[in-house]
């Protein structure tokens, strides 16, 4: 096995420097099978430091082989997962030819000079971006734990960074004003597309033409710099309208309609072809995008964030009785897993379950609790406003989030930010958010007996709960703070607006 140090050719060198959140790795000499491992190790080390951008300067490279292409592809994948923008400086014709043959020029941005690369990624070069977020079915003004909550948090954080944000959602309440300026400083536009009431998805599909026509009129009068659509309904309307106006589109799928036919499949395929960039909410979603023909090199993973200043271990806790308390939070949907939580707690006589949320599902859950003989220990707290959630979460011994699918992981992030141990299913964003037996515990979906067994172990071991809670808080602060997530999303927008997206040569 070659030694990357002792077998390195004369004149080969690699040097790294970081300034203002930008890492620059300068390479000189021949880069081949002997030196590629050392180069890859250095680049990966820089990616793990979490800079906003990593610039690889190949200006002094005399030879660039196929082994180096593989190394850069591996580094690119890691950079995408970490939200780090990877740029190459490659003026030499020999190096450029190798990059073109390998397809790397279609993956990362190439610059003629280091100065051009620095100018492209420098924070000083960033400007106020006009961002249109299209969220047809989930308004950021409502309480919840899904797409609407994510849009609200992201819009708030992007506005705080100085960007101009307008959210477009379908009007489903006749009393809702056409336009609302939120306290956070972003606008919400209620689009008239069909009757002002909640509609099933299949009926919404027939109204998306009206939705797209409204967006075209709105954007022709004052076009955004970039559009970011969420879910297939928003994607269809957003992609069509943006194409007419000539604005780049970022799309987020929020779980794919696997095995479904009709409008959704066509809309998802259209977004895959027409979107300038795809943002996945979690790594599992990113991996699934291949079946739509989306190249991994066109995908960034930008997770949901949480307000670590609001959701914190410090602060008041809601009153409780002598029973041990488990809190179940999340979107009340057909795949929410709440019946599993009710079934599990029904076998634990000295424990109560507090269910957060409202809607049609509550009656069924109440009936189920009664059938299990646990109605006196299941508390239905109703819809709790965001400001009241931290106190309720802090009052819990454990928070349970056991849905069958969850692209965002909002409920788990909120509990983890409060330092409360979580038990979750290993689906969607929860596979990223929760590190099994480190920041929480994973259980299989639809297995209430397994859930009950894990809950008993946790409730019997205060030290374990404390360890999980501390590690959970640390992970959320380090990776899922709103500011960090907003900066990762803004980096995608800014690169598209600046014309520094993949496959482009700048300089």
Are 250 and 132 in contact by the 8 Å Cβ rule? The answer is no
For residues 197 and 289, state if they share a domain. yes
Residue 11 pLDDT class (50, 70, 90 cuts): low
Question: What stretch of H or E contains 251?
Answer: strand 249-252
More confident site: 23 or 3: 23
Whether residues 134 and 212 fall in one domain: yes
Calculate Rg over the CA atoms of the chain: 25
Q: Cα separation of 170 and 232, whole Å? A: 14
| The pLDDT of residue 2 | 42
Q: For 146, phi and psi rounded to 5 degrees? A: -110, -135
Same domain for 237 and 148: yes
How high is the mean pLDDT of the chain?
Answer: 85
- Last residue of some domain: 124, 149, 177? 124
- Residues 333, 220, single domain; the answer is no
- In this structure, is residue 6 part of a structural domain? no
Is 417 or 269 the better-scoring residue by pLDDT? 417
Of 124, 154, 176, the position where a domain reaches its end is: 124
Q: What strands, in cross-sheet order, belong to the sheet with 187-191?
A: 179-181, 187-191, 164-170, 130-134, 226-230, 249-252, 277-280, 299-301
Indicate whether 5 pLDDT > 50: no
More confident residue, 262 or 280: 280
pLDDT of residue 335: 80
Helix (H, G, I), strand (E, B) or coil at 277: strand
Alpha helix positions (H), 331-409: 338-345, 361-371, 389-394
Q: What is the pLDDT of residues 194-230, one digit of tens each?
A: 998 888 888 888 899 999 999 999 999 999 999 999 9
Q: What is the DSSP string of 417-473?
A: HTT--EEEES-TTHHHH--BTTTBEEE-TT-HHHHHHHHHHHHT-HHHHHHHHHHHH
Q: Is residue 169 part of a domain?
A: yes
Report the DSSP beta bridge partners of residue 367: none
Q: What is the pLDDT of residue 166?
A: 97
Span 349-375, average pLDDT: 90
Instruction: Say how many domains are in the chain.
Output: 3
Question: Are both 103 and 139 inside the same structural domain?
Answer: no
- pLDDT at residue 100 in the model: 64
Q: How far is CA 168 from CA 119, 139, 227, 351, 457, in A?
A: 33, 8, 10, 43, 46
Q: Are residues 391 and 286 in the same domain?
A: no
pLDDT at 140 over 80: yes
- pLDDT class for 118, splitting at 50, 70, 90? confident
Q: What is the DSSP letter of 166?
A: E
pLDDT at 472: 94
Report pLDDT for 228: 96
Per-residue pLDDT, 503: 42
Using CA atoms in the order 239, 244, 246, 249, what is the torsion angle rounded to 10 degrees? -10
Please state, as a whole number, how many other Cβ atoms lie within 10 Å of the Cβ of residue 194: 17
Please list the residues that pair with 119 across neighbouring strands. none
Structure tokens, 469: 């809670």
User: Is the pLDDT score of 387 beyond 80?
Assistant: yes
Say whether pLDDT at 3 is over 50: no
Lowest mean pLDDT among 178-182, 234-238, 344-348, 383-387: 383-387
Question: Which pLDDT score is estimated for 6?
Answer: 40
Length of the chain: 507
Q: Are residues 221 and 142 in the same domain?
A: yes
For 189, the token pair is 């536009």
Q: Judge whether residue 244 has pLDDT over 90.
A: yes
| Average pLDDT of span 282-308 | 83
Host domain of residue 471: 324-482
Query: What predicted TM-score, i.e. pTM, was given to this entire model?
Result: 0.74
Could you tell me what percent of the chain has a pLDDT over 90? Answer: 45
3-state percent helix, strand, coil for the chain, nearest multiple of 5:
45, 20, 35
Same domain? For 240 and 297 the reply is yes
Q: Between residues 105 and 398, which one has the greater pLDDT?
A: 398
Asked whether the CA dihedral 40, 46, 47, 49 is positive or negative, the reply is positive
Whether residue 332 sits in one domain with residue 279 = no
**Same domain membership, residue 293 and residue 175:** yes
Give me the CATH number covering residue 433. Answer: 3.40.50.2000
Q: What is the pLDDT of residue 504?
A: 43
Residues 296 and 373 in one domain: no
- Position 259 scores a pLDDT of 52
For residues 335 and 404, the answer to whether their CB atoms sit within 8 Å is: yes
Q: pLDDT tens digits for 67-108?
A: 667 777 778 777 766 778 788 887 666 676 776 666 565 556
Are 94 and 31 in contact by the 8 Å Cβ rule? The answer is no
**Kind and range of the H or E element at 494?**
helix 482-497
pLDDT attached to residue 108: 66
Beta bridge partners of 28: 13, 60
Q: Do 162 and 92 fall into the same domain?
A: no
- Read off the pLDDT band of 37 (50, 70, 90): confident
Alpha-carbon separation of residue 316 from 181, 390, 423 (angstroms): 30, 8, 23
Average pLDDT over residues 457-486: 92
Q: What is the CATH number of the domain that holds 52?
A: 3.30.750.24
- Looking at residue 4, its pLDDT comes to 41
Query: With helix as H, strand as E and coil as C, how does 191-222 read?
Result: ECCCCCCCCCHHHHHCCHHHHHHHHHHHHHHC
């Amino acid at each position: 096995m070659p030694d990357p140090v002792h077998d390195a050719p004369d004149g080969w060198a690699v040097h790294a420097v970081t300034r203002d959140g930008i890492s620059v790795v300068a390479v000189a000499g021949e880069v081949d099978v002997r030196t590629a491992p050392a180069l890859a190790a250095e680049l990966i080390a820089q990616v793990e430091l979490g800079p906003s951008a990593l610039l690889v300067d190949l200006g002094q490279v005399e030879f660039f082989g196929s082994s180096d292409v593989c190394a850069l592809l591996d580094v690119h994948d890691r950079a995408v997962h970490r939200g780090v923008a990877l740029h190459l400086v490659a003026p030499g014709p020999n190096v450029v030819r190798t990059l073109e043959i390998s397809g790397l020029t279609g993956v990362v941005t190439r610059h003629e000079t280091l100065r051009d690369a620095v100018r492209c990624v420098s924070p000083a070069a960033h400007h106020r971006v006009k961002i249109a977020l299209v969220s047809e079915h989930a308004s950021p003004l409502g309480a919840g734990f899904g797409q609407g909550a994510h849009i609200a948090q992201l819009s708030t954080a992007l506005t705080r960074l100085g960007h101009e944000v307008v959210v477009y959602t379908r009007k489903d309440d006749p009393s809702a004003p056409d336009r609302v300026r939120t306290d956070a400083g972003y606008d919400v536009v209620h689009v008239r597309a069909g009757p002002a009431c909640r509609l099933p998805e299949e009926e919404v599909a027939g109204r998306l033409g009206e939705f797209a026509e409204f967006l075209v009129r709105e954007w022709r009068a004052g076009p955004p710099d970039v559009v970011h659509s969420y879910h297939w309904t928003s994607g269809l309307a957003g992609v069509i309208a943006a194409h007419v106006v000539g604005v780049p589109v970022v799309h987020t799928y929020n779980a794919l309609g696997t095995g479904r036919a009709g409008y959704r499949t066509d809309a998802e395929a259209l977004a895959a072809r027409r979107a300038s960039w795809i943002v996945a909410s979690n790594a599992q979603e990113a991996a699934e995008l291949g079946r739509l023909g989306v190249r991994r090199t066109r995908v960034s993973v930008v997770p949901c964030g949480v307000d670590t200043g609001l959701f914190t271990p410090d602060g008041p806790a809601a009153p409780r009785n002598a029973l041990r308390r488990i809190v179940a939070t999340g979107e009340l949907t057909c795949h929410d897993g709440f019946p599993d939580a009710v079934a599990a707690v029904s076998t634990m006589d000295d424990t109560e379950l507090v269910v957060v949320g409202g809607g049609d599902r509550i009656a069924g859950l109440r009936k189920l609790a009664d059938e299990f003989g646990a109605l006196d220990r299941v508390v239905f707290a109703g819809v709790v406003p965001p400001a009241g959630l931290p106190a309720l979460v802090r009052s819990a011994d454990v928070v349970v989030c056991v849905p069958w699918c969850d692209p965002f992981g909002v409920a788990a992030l909120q509990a983890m930010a409060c330092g409360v141990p979580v038990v979750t299913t290993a689906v969607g964003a929860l596979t990223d958010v929760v590190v099994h037996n480190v920041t929480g515990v994973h259980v299989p979906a639809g297995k209430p007996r397994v859930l009950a067994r894990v809950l008993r172990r946790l409730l019997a071991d205060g030290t374990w709960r404390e360890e999980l809670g501390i590690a959970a808080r640390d992970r959320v602060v380090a990776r899922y703070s709103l500011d960090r997530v907003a900066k990762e999303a803004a980096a995608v927008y800014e690169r598209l607006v600046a014309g520094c997206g993949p496959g482009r040569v700048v300089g």
